[in-house]
Structure 1
Amino acid sequence: MTRIILSTGNVILDGPSIIRKPGTYRSNLELTNSLRNNISAAQKEYAFAFQNGNGHASHAGQNGQNGHSNGRPAPEVWTEREGSTLYVPRIDWESAGLQEDRSQYEITVKLFFLPIAPPEKRLDYIKEALRLVKRELGVDDVDLLIASFPGLAFEGDCEWEADRKNATMGNDEEEVTTWGLLEKLYHQGQIKRLGIAEFGTEKLRRFLDKVKVRPAVNQINIRNCCNVPPPLSKLAKEEGIELFTHHDSTDVLPSGTLRELLGQGPQGAGVLADGDPNSSGLKGEIIPEWVVKYTAFVKNRGVIENKGYFASAETVEET
């Protein structure tokens, strides 16, 4: 078993081509394009460094001077393994961190729990996602963490239908259990505020009856509706919950997209073997576990200084 940690780096530095434009560019496209850009940049940078005598040319692969026969550098050149974890691509932690004092930033994290990952491992997912974000930004806490649970959506011909359908979605028990894990981190001071996503009126009512720490924020995606349902607006106001709309995808990293991204195809990174018994790539099924999106907003200047994603997946050997 290998755990793969993918990272985009700071997507703000890559220019407007991959910065999401509200209403037109959703998080799944931003994530996929940003990962491709970061992987491609790492392949070029590390292959050039190794080719120019930095002492690791032997990692370049057997089918070419600095890569496979298709022109890609071998994964050993631009990825990094720590125990059973493979970082795709390598992360330069020495250049991580924010430019100004921590008090100048509003740091928001949205953690997507993916549908085929086992819910019983969510404590590990939360800890790992927060560890990576805090290390990347050089901070000890985040201002807001929004939990996005699988199986939830806000879709319908109108806001009333979307609200009605939402009441039967997801898994209340799993969501409340996961929230309890986040509450502990909230009480430890690692997270200053907690939020949820895609909770309609009835779903939110049931949730509030079972949790101790009230969500400060509820995000809903109304792209397929017209407006926020009035009952939801009323409930949020009564409970002191900020109600925001968003354009994030509810299916941010499907298995097929991840396999295409890491596989041997023309747009793949060459990390997976893709069924080739002679390949040195990772073999077996790949299971996306979670995605975390983070933003560091400079309050006094009104700009986002750092924005990016981490994602985790696990390979399982086929028996």
Structure 2
Amino acid sequence: MKLILSTGNIVSGGPSIIRKPGAYRSNLELTNSLRSNFLAAQQDYALATDEADSDGIENTNGNGNGFHGAAPVTAWTALEDGALYVPRIDWSLAGLQEERAQYDITVKLFFLPTAPVSDRAQHARAALDHVLRELAVPNVDLLVVSFPGMSFEGDCEWEADKMNATQGNDDEEAATWPTVEELHRQGLVKNLGIAEFGSEKLARFLKRVQIRPTVNQINIKNCCNVPPPLVKLAKEQGIELLVHSDCTDILSRGTLRGLLGRGLQGAGLLADSEEDEGLRGDLTPEWVVKYTAVVRDRGVIENKGYFASAELTE
């Protein structure tokens, strides 16, 4: 069974002013936002009286800890097109407040190490489709791809750049890129970007792609400055360097099971023991996508959130 997790719009109290660089790392923001959305959905549907559905998902959250008095699982989740949405989504409420032309929309897709490389084409399209549906837009301005095993860490920018040269997998990254190039050709994505590519990695990557990235995001929190060789290469190639605070170890197996299990602050969706009721099987995170819609003329974030996908196999 496919599970689709969502945070909804995590911008609270109205649109927020953009502050750069962000200090809230993506894994913490994602997990906290998912927990909050699960709890809100359980509370919203607490009066529902639906019985367990035909797929055997029991009417209980079962953890007895973080979600007291919550709705039955079948009330706050929904089966749609063969996927279980956690929580259920009212698509009639989707969309932005103004016309599409008023927004800069950035999407960041995290390919996870737990998912097969051969499935990345399917995952990329599914992730983008969910964002387009959530924002009710025909395209996005920038799609940034984050590959697993990449980072910018070291005692200085020179060391970080050197270490980065041996990270990731050049062949897998080059084999994946045509997938996002096709999204660009179809008009779904206006510009493409990558994350955590140092000077050597970037130089090798550019030789193997047809549509070049226009943006390279790097996280220099654990070193000092942007490496001079990377600055030089990016300038020569017309690639914009952006600093970010995201991470690449987002949504591990343990984190995901903790979110959906019956422990403290778990949603109670999974059975943690033979005696428990709920979904059973191995849970494999597949992808995470982060989206941000910024109103251009006011510089405020109107909509920001995450989707995540996982496969549950018996």
TM-score (norm 2): 0.92
- Pick from 289, 303, 308 the counterpart of residue 292 of structure 1: 289
In structure 1, the residue matched to 2:44 is 45
In structure 2, the residue matched to 1:159 is 157
Determine if the alignment matches structure 1 residue 119 to structure 2 residue 112.
no
- For these two proteins, the number of residue pairs brought into alignment is 305
What amino acid maps onto 1:95 in structure 2? L
Question: Equivalent residues in 2 for 1:97-116 (5 A)?
Answer: 97-116=95-114
Question: Equivalent residues in 2 for 1:14-163 (5 A)?
Answer: 22=21, 24-48=23-47, 50=48, 56-59=49-52, 68=62, 70=64, 71=68, 72-163=70-161
Question: Equivalent residues in 2 for 1:144-293 (5 A)?
Answer: 144-274=142-272, 276-293=273-290
In structure 1, the residue matched to 2:7 is 8
What amino acid maps onto 2:251 in structure 1? L
Q: 1:155 to 1:65 in 2, by over 3 A?
A: closer
SS in 1 for 2:200: helix
Residues 37, 87 of structure 2: 8 Å contact kept: yes
SS in 2 for 1:44: helix
SS in 1 for 2:11: helix
Deviation at 1:22, TM superposition (A): 4.2
Q: 1:169 to 1:68 in 2, by over 3 A?
A: closer
- Structure 1 distance, partners of 2:116, 2:63, is 38
Which region of structure 1 is more displaced relative to structure 2, 68-77 or 120-129?
68-77
In structure 2, the residue matched to 1:301 is 298
Deviation at 1:59, TM superposition (A): 4.8
Residues 61, 268 of structure 2: 8 Å contact kept: no
In structure 2, the residue matched to 1:53 is none
RMSD of equivalent CA atoms: 2.2
Provide structure 1 residue ranges, at least 5 long, that are not aligned to the other structure: 51-55
- Structure 1 distance, partners of 2:219, 2:257, is 27
- Structure 2 distance, partners of 1:128, 1:73, is 28
Deviation at 1:304, TM superposition (A): 0.7
Runs of 4+ in 1 over 6 A off after TM superposition: none
SS in 1 for 2:267: coil
Higher relative contact order (CA 8 A, sep 6+): 2
Deviation at 1:74, TM superposition (A): 2.5
Q: 1:22 to 1:234 in 2, by over 3 A?
A: closer
Residues 68, 74 of structure 1: 8 Å contact kept: no
- Structure 1 distance, partners of 2:172, 2:256, is 25
SS in 2 for 1:58: coil
- Structure 2 distance, partners of 1:200, 1:164, is 8
- Structure 2 distance, partners of 1:65, 1:182, is 40
Which region of structure 1 is more displaced relative to structure 2, 5-14 or 144-153?
5-14
Residues 234, 240 of structure 2: 8 Å contact kept: yes
SS in 1 for 2:150: coil
Deviation at 1:316, TM superposition (A): 1.8
SS in 2 for 1:224: coil
- Structure 1 distance, partners of 2:267, 2:112, is 22
What amino acid maps onto 2:6 in structure 1? S
- Structure 1 distance, partners of 2:81, 2:181, is 30
Q: 1:107 to 1:65 in 2, by over 3 A?
A: closer
SS in 1 for 2:266: coil
Q: Percent identity?
A: 62
- Structure 2 distance, partners of 1:100, 1:169, is 42
In structure 1, the residue matched to 2:308 is 311
Deviation at 1:25, TM superposition (A): 1.7
SS in 1 for 2:161: helix
- Structure 1 distance, partners of 2:22, 2:151, is 17
Residues 20, 27 of structure 1: 8 Å contact kept: no
Which region of structure 1 is more displaced relative to structure 2, 139-148 or 23-32?
23-32
Residues 20, 26 of structure 1: 8 Å contact kept: no
Residues 61, 267 of structure 2: 8 Å contact kept: no
Residues 288, 313 of structure 1: 8 Å contact kept: yes
